[in-house]
Structure 1
């Protein structure tokens, strides 16, 4: 009989933090084209709409900056609960907003929550997971994000038929519901065993490991004791270095890992997925898609479906091939879409629309652009969407894990803020050039992974130290671990 509370159910529930992230993404993408939103807020365009959209990642920068300290101080679990409280406050402010300033303030507050939860949920998941399924477990975060986007967009699509302000206020208020469940439910869940060890709560560490690894909470299980000793040895080794967390971040030993964690999150944000998440209605309207809202709904459904293979097989396929192939495929999709815009597009004769370049009268070309963007978003959710979370949270040791992931997520949200703010005016100014830009970014990301990112699948968080310290070129270092002794049979 399968126990109700196990690694999978705990991780899935913690992924409600990702659901909130998805809610906030589509809370704007689903309303920017509705007449009620345009009329109430004065038809915001360009930098004004960019400011509204980017308020959430601006708040996320603050949340991510503080997540490392809060997560190490209060624990991963309690810090996530604090983020849930902030989310409820932000949702209330947004739904009651009577001006653009108040709407921006609400999104800032919600963003602080997203910064905290997006940093700490994958850390919590990776620290409770057995190594052989760690990729699958952390992928639940991205799966939840895609579900959040789809659910919120579906709510907004239904509410768009309401001929009043409730068409956008009701979906923003509903956002608070999952946060309430997250806050309450976490009281019954365990602390991270590695966080407990960092606080020298060793008896609790052993009990939590036994709870997570054995059906009968057997603290004398040999594999539980082996993992306990591995954590103990790793923590002792880290403490013997006798250096500050900040000093370790910039030390020669850790510099590569920290920079790689940052590169994963920056690359994730430069794939163009945020462009398609936030402003997809602009794109579909510019290519004369008849029912742009339904086309966007199909896109968000694709995001959910294509995350499933990553959950099932990321620990078999490996991190490197998924990232490289995904980035190259996205690059090709954006290049083709940009080429079609260039060849068949023309200036938009309507001056007060959010796009200055249109494809009109070429139905097959419009459908081809739509297909390219569907393929790009499918590739993103199969590759960079889940694996960036996995990789950033697993390649650094416990002592600086929360701080490193916090720093990586700060970079992520800084890029997200810049992209969200700049895209509306940039889309108008560059016409089709924005697609070429994201294609080049994806090609560059594939190159970085090939040259700098070693394979880490099915290794304990402690064994990953050996990968980075082996001394061979990083893209070859996984070969040196083929004979590594481990408890493969159980984990």
Structure 2
């Protein structure tokens, strides 16, 4: 039995996105717990792995390495996934990723020391890199154009659900004594990977991958099953099949595709776009919030359980605010969401930097609550505004850059390069995710509130870049998007030029109808 409902297909496929959210949130909620800090202690209160009650945990650089190890694995996984998906298919690549996740989570759950934990998280990253690159490609190649933004954006919504669910699991586990406080969440995160692996057996393969591999019978059957209730004679199905045949015939003359093809003259412009949409997404600073929000709220005066509860609100906001993008992304378009999101992020980061610098001061030596990363302290009304702005950063990111980062890269490339392009784009995401995950803990220790200024500057820079260079892709088939890159047109003019072309075509059609009408009148007069 094959599942043919596109929404159900998407719901199962994007479980791969929830794995990233599970991992991200488990670190965020577990980092401040005394059980984790004492078991992996490197501070002054005795040897590592003791059971004291006031441990500082791993050193800031080591903690950055623990967090960033998953991003390092994701970088490699995303690059490898381009080859795997072209060789074995989109569905098989995602299944392989789910198996890798089970192995990595087992190592994390059983970790006896910091190196073992880092290896487990690195292996988890191989899965996250593969799934985050190929799930959007998979659902994009199955979805009709008018639903593509919705189903691809669901990847980000799954991530937010993963963050929310695992945060509360980790929060509840924090009340357990001893090692169970962090081993239980790391063990439970294997469940969605198992569901994903089994569910994919009932899912169709990408019809575009099947077409590329000359398996036309299967391709046509899947397209008609999903889009037209098995009516192979449907006009849309026939048009889509013909477009696929034309694209495949055009690409048959191409040599074997490699990552180098993405940097050839006719491809390098769109390659720079898909790389930077992921780089800028990381430089919004969202992972500074999601990974280390407990540090930020600790500097705003929240401690213990109140810190974890307040931090969990950001996960709820993330889930709720992603919904508008799913509903309206295809109507609003990609560019307005990206530009609006980056402008609002610039405002909130700037306010945070101003308040922290103007009203805050150095924390006691060793940081608040023996956490060196909480090296700055702000209190009173300014602290409440910093907390509010942290929530607004999440609320601005969730409906804009969050879902668009997964939708946009999979829309810009022809079929033969789509898998590798998604892999390179996602690898760029994880490279900067690794850098920021490693950079932020030492940054909080060494430059404190100035960390906020860095993200404000990046948010302003990305606004200009999107306006000048990122074209609109909503409402077009994947084959029609290819036509947008023929010739050289400024991104901000593409929508204007498209409207002018449509108006010109309507005028020509109107003139032709008038001409045909006059000819009919003349013929009628002559016959009379």
Normalising to structure 2: TM-score of the pair? 0.89
Deviation at residue 212 of structure 1 after TM alignment: 1.1
CA contact (8 A) 1:123 1:393 kept: yes
What number of residue pairs does the alignment pair up?
Answer: 481
**Unaligned ranges ≥5, structure 2:** 42-56, 506-528
Deviation at residue 467 of structure 1 after TM alignment: 1.1
Match of 2:456 in 1: 439
CA–CA separation in structure 2 for the residues paired with 1:136 and 1:426: 37
CA contact (8 A) 1:93 1:106 kept: yes
CA–CA separation in structure 2 for the residues paired with 1:231 and 1:4: 22
**Unaligned ranges ≥5, structure 1:** 486-491
SS of the aligned residue for 2:30 comes to coil
Q: Which of the residues 283, 287, 290 maps onto 1:277?
A: 290
Does 2:22 match 1:10? no
Q: Where do 1:227-242 residues align within 5 Å?
A: 227-242=240-255
Q: Where do 1:412-423 residues align within 5 Å?
A: 412-423=429-440
CA–CA separation in structure 1 for the residues paired with 2:374 and 2:231: 65
Cα distance per residue 1:351-388 (max 9 Å; x no partner): 1523354334x321111001101011111111001001
Match of 1:141 in 2: 155
Return the index of the structure with the highest Cα Rg. Answer: 2
Q: Which of the residues 392, 398, 403 maps onto 1:375?
A: 392
CA contact (8 A) 1:467 1:481 kept: no
CA–CA separation in structure 2 for the residues paired with 1:262 and 1:166: 40
Match of 2:217 in 1: 203
CA–CA separation in structure 2 for the residues paired with 1:377 and 1:46: 24
Deviation at residue 247 of structure 1 after TM alignment: 4.6
Match of 1:54 in 2: 68
Deviation at residue 478 of structure 1 after TM alignment: 2.7
CA contact (8 A) 1:15 1:121 kept: yes
CA contact (8 A) 2:74 2:430 kept: yes
Deviation at residue 4 of structure 1 after TM alignment: 6.9
Deviation at residue 197 of structure 1 after TM alignment: 0.6
Q: Which of the residues 358, 361, 364 maps onto 2:381?
A: 364
Match of 2:262 in 1: 249
CA contact (8 A) 2:104 2:121 kept: yes
Q: Where do 1:13-32 residues align within 5 Å?
A: 13-32=12-31
SS of the aligned residue for 2:479 comes to coil
CA contact (8 A) 2:301 2:377 kept: yes
CA–CA separation in structure 1 for the residues paired with 2:184 and 2:442: 29
Q: Where do 1:52-451 residues align within 5 Å?
A: 52-215=66-229, 217-242=230-255, 244-289=257-302, 291-351=306-366, 352-355=370-373, 357-360=375-378, 362-451=379-468
Deviation at residue 163 of structure 1 after TM alignment: 1.3
Deviation at residue 19 of structure 1 after TM alignment: 0.6
Deviation at residue 8 of structure 1 after TM alignment: 1.2
CA–CA separation in structure 1 for the residues paired with 2:239 and 2:421: 27
Q: Which of the residues 450, 463, 485 maps onto 1:468?
A: 485
Deviation at residue 186 of structure 1 after TM alignment: 0.4
Normalising to structure 1: TM-score of the pair? 0.96
Deviation at residue 164 of structure 1 after TM alignment: 1.7
Deviation at residue 242 of structure 1 after TM alignment: 4.4
Deviation at residue 219 of structure 1 after TM alignment: 1.4
Deviation at residue 410 of structure 1 after TM alignment: 1.1
SS of the aligned residue for 2:478 comes to coil
CA contact (8 A) 1:289 1:366 kept: no
CA–CA separation in structure 2 for the residues paired with 1:243 and 1:66: 16
CA–CA separation in structure 2 for the residues paired with 1:431 and 1:184: 46
Output the aligned Cα RMSD: 1.4
Cα distance per residue 1:101-127 (max 9 Å; x no partner): 111111011000001000000000111
CA contact (8 A) 2:317 2:395 kept: yes
CA contact (8 A) 1:80 1:116 kept: yes
